A and B are shown apart, each in its own frame.
Chain A
């Protein structure tokens, strides 16, 4: 009998758990265990709509326990604190130390043994990297459903002030020079802009997109090249056109140094520093890995062997520091196996990328101002499924079974960036790219296959976003034939 422990039940961890349970058979001898601190699953992409008051919280979250009960997955509502890949004095079987967040087991801790471990713990929302950033400071966030509720409340108050005739400045973007997830900030900016128009108060509102991207449309993937109507064009031009059409301003190449009540202090790539007054600000935090430590059999700390300094777990990537020109598609991991322990894997945002995808940049004072690489929903889900397949094979055929592979440099992604809701008035930018990490050797020029790298704006994108919302929640609830829905 084998026991697989999965840390985290987000896009990658939940996918891995459901797929693995199915691959191993519902009533097999093997155990699939999920450890995650939240009782609920959250479809994070739709938090954008919760954050503008267009969707209630209940539509984006649901309890995990009944799904795991139904599918035969053992569920621990707990937070992983430490991993012991070599075991401890009692056993040489790997183990995870957890602390329960289950209200029924306050303060309880446990050591859970595993044969295989998947780290799918996603990002730590590192608001602390920028003084004054985040819900405990002076800005709102949409990273969790509860954050989004608070953002919607703040936005409602801003709209009330606009209705009373008070001009307002709304700043939306990223709160640090090394943030990722610019696509989510873009979506929120345009959903807010849409709401202001719907409320009839657009005239008195200034909407500013504040970003660490050097140019619009970078989205942390170094931008995209498209072929459109006989021209080769770029996501930079395409995105700037949306900003112009909708009257949204942008501050590019910016690192937020600190936020005070109503004022953002930021530095730009040219080294200049500025202040920006605001009435409403939604700034995403930078991400880092969760605070999980690692110990060897003797109890000595080995965190730096297992995790990168960013807190993300090292996997089968090439982490040798290289200049941008020397970056290669092959640097990216394919199996997500820890180089230190072959039965430990990290997927989704939890794995340490070898380097950024966007071109690196620093201000004259040395501040890094460039997007970190995104690991969006589709790649995260594919990684979860791939590692599940590797583990299932090894359980069935032995540890020599070859690992399944899924490199971000060999994988495409579809991304729908909402720009406003409404079945007839909504719009979204629908983008597909192949591969996510450009491969300049295979696709000289843009690094991507232009037949599969496309972008378009319109109502169709909004309908697709709504469709994905329903499909992925259906799948995450493990309803009938869920497994037919691809990642």
Chain B
């Protein structure tokens, strides 16, 4: 299966075969990649991620 053009094709000279777990892994779509960089969406994700981290940290060791 060829990688879509927005994905870096591995290049190399060690002739290592790509690990099957990587070869068969799902690829993010262009839309997903854009979402991961969209500042507005990421601001929301930032708030969510930090509230999860804070919950874990404050909950500490129950």
Q: Which residues of A come within 8 Å of B, CB atoms?
A: 167, 169, 197, 202-206, 208, 215-216, 236-237, 240-241, 243-252, 276-277, 378, 382, 386, 405-407, 410-414, 424-425, 427, 430, 432, 434, 452, 454, 456-461, 463-464, 467, 486-487
B1-15 vs A, Cβ < 8 Å mask (1 yes, 0 no)? 001000111111110
Question: Is B31 an interface position by the 8 A CB rule?
Answer: no
Q: A202-B8, A244-B27, A414-B52 are in contact. Are A458 and B45 (CB under 8 A)?
A: yes
Total contacts A-B at CB 8 Å = 146
The answer for the CA separation of A378 and B11 in the assembled complex, in Å, is 37
Cβ-neighbour of A458 out of B8, B16, B27, B35 (below 8 A) = B35
Q: Report 23 cross-chain contacts, Cβ distance below 8 Å, ordered by A residue.
A: A169-B12, A204-B11, A208-B12, A236-B21, A237-B25, A237-B26, A244-B27, A245-B7, A248-B22, A250-B21, A405-B61, A410-B61, A412-B56, A452-B56, A456-B45, A458-B35, A458-B42, A459-B45, A460-B46, A460-B49, A461-B49, A464-B49, A486-B54
> Shortest CB–CB separation between residue A471 and chain B, in angstroms?
11
Secondary structure class of chain A's binding surface, majority of residues: mixed
| Complex contact A249–B28 (CB within 8 A) | no
> Shortest CB–CB separation between residue A30 and chain B, in angstroms?
25
The answer for the CA separation of A432 and B54 in the assembled complex, in Å, is 10
| Complex contact A240–B12 (CB within 8 A) | no
Cβ-neighbour of A249 out of B19, B27, B42, B54 (below 8 A) = B19
Q: A427-B36, A463-B46 are in contact. Are A412 and B59 (CB under 8 A)?
A: yes
> Shortest CB–CB separation between residue A427 and chain B, in angstroms?
6
Q: A241-B26, A406-B60 are in contact. Are A454 and B8 (CB under 8 A)?
A: no
| Complex contact B61–A247 (CB within 8 A) | no
Tell me which residues across on chain A come within 8 A of B57, comparing CB atoms: 378, 412, 414, 486-487
| Complex contact B36–A414 (CB within 8 A) | no
Q: A410-B62, A464-B49 are in contact. Are A247 and B25 (CB under 8 A)?
A: no
Cβ-neighbour of B8 out of A216, A237, A245, A407 (below 8 A) = A245
Q: A169-B12, A276-B14 are in contact. Are A386 and B61 (CB under 8 A)?
A: yes
Q: Which 9 A-B pairs have the closest CB atoms?
A: A206-B12, A247-B8, A240-B25, A412-B56, A458-B36, A460-B45, A406-B61, A414-B53, A460-B46
| Complex contact A243–B35 (CB within 8 A) | no
The answer for the CA separation of A236 and B27 in the assembled complex, in Å, is 14
Tell me which residues across on chain B come within 8 A of A246, comparing CB atoms: 8
The answer for the CA separation of A51 and B58 in the assembled complex, in Å, is 31
Beyond A240-B19, A410-B61, 4 extra complex contacts between A and B, CB < 8 Å: A169-B13, A203-B11, A247-B7, A487-B60
| Complex contact B10–A249 (CB within 8 A) | yes
| Complex contact B7–A244 (CB within 8 A) | yes
| Complex contact B19–A251 (CB within 8 A) | yes
The answer for the CA separation of A361 and B35 in the assembled complex, in Å, is 39
Tell me which residues across on chain B come within 8 A of A247, comparing CB atoms: 7-11
The answer for the CA separation of A240 and B36 in the assembled complex, in Å, is 17
Residue of B nearest to A383 (CB): B61
Q: A169-B12, A245-B27, A276-B14 are in contact. Are A459 and B39 (CB under 8 A)?
A: yes
Tell me which residues across on chain B come within 8 A of A432, comparing CB atoms: 49, 52-53, 56
